[in-house]
Amino acid sequence: MRKLIAPLVIAAGLFSAPAFAEDHLHAGDIEIEIENGQLGTHGAGHYQDGSGYAIFEADFRDLAKGPYATNSPGFDSHADVFDQGDIIGYQAIGALWAWNGASWTSSVLNNEVITLGGNLGETSSWTVAGVTGDAIGTLGQAGSGGNIHEHLTFTVSTPSGLPTEGAYYITLQLISADLNSSFDGIVANGKYASSDPFYLVFNNGLSSGEFHAAVHGLADIAPVPEPSSYALLLLGMGVIGWQLRRRSQA
């Protein structure tokens, strides 16, 4: 029994930050809510036209964690959103994308990597080839007030030299989780349905105008037509073609 108690105490210490006592939301944080049993995110400045995914903004040059790292935006919720002890994690999905000044591309100039550190020591990294390291990580645990307020650290780095100035985005999803059997990570539990994916767009040295263009370049991606829309389009083109043939034969 003694072997079991020690990890539990350690885990409790990891989730006992004073921030849990706060009953307010910080400007710029990603607000977490539960809607019809599903985790949701609020407070985004933009939403992508094609997918409807939320777009949140961050700045590697905000000096919160040095010149190439940031712990903003944080993740926050109102009181009594969660049950005490609920653990919320993140899932790293997709790949790293970079802004080339005109469009988003899956190519980066200096093999940049964006890394996110989870609350239980997880390391999740996005490259142009996809996610490496931990696919899921720990965001935080609700305290007695039923709320979460956490700031994780995002870092941009390269194998050599300095990260290229520009804008980058990664994709995340929130999950409901439990501690794993060894108490050094989490496993999804399905108590709440996972959130829709959302984007984090990072500024690394661009002017406000240049970064604004990058964010809008992601937001303005056109919706992909549904198969039924294609069918209607083809039907309409067929009708037009039939009418033109009738006129030419008249």
**150 and 74 in contact (C-beta within 8 Å)?**
yes
Average pLDDT over every residue of 120-144: 97
Using alpha carbons, list the distances in angstroms from residue 52 to 45, 88, 129, 228. Answer: 12, 22, 24, 19
pLDDT exceeds cutoff 70 at 186: yes
Alpha carbon distance 97, 104 (integer Å): 6
d(CA 243, CA 250): 11
Question: What per-residue confidence (pLDDT) applies to 243?
Answer: 53
The counts of H helices and E strands in the chain are 3, 17
* Average pLDDT of the segment spanning 1-12: 40
DSSP character at residue 19: G
Instruction: Return the bridge partners of 149, or none.
Output: 76
**pLDDT averaged over every residue in the chain:** 85
Model pTM? Answer: 0.80
List the chain domain ranges. Answer: 2-249
The pLDDT of residue 43 is 94
Between residues 223 and 134, which one has the greater pLDDT? 134
- Rounded to whole angstroms, the Cα distance separating 116 from 96 reads 12
pLDDT confidence bin for 248, thresholds 50/70/90: low
Measure the N-to-C terminal CA separation of the chain; round to a whole number of Å: 93
Model confidence at 250, pLDDT cuts 50, 70, 90, reads low
Res 61 pLDDT > 60: yes
Are the C-beta atoms of 166 and 99 separated by less than 8 Å? yes
Task: Express each pLDDT in 109-130 by its tens digit.
Answer: 899 999 999 999 999 999 999 9
- Specify whether the CB–CB gap between 82 and 147 falls below 8 A: yes
DSSP assignment letter at 162? P
Q: What is the pLDDT of residues 10-34, one digit of tens each?
A: 344 455 443 333 444 566 799 999 9
Residue at token pair 């105008």: 209
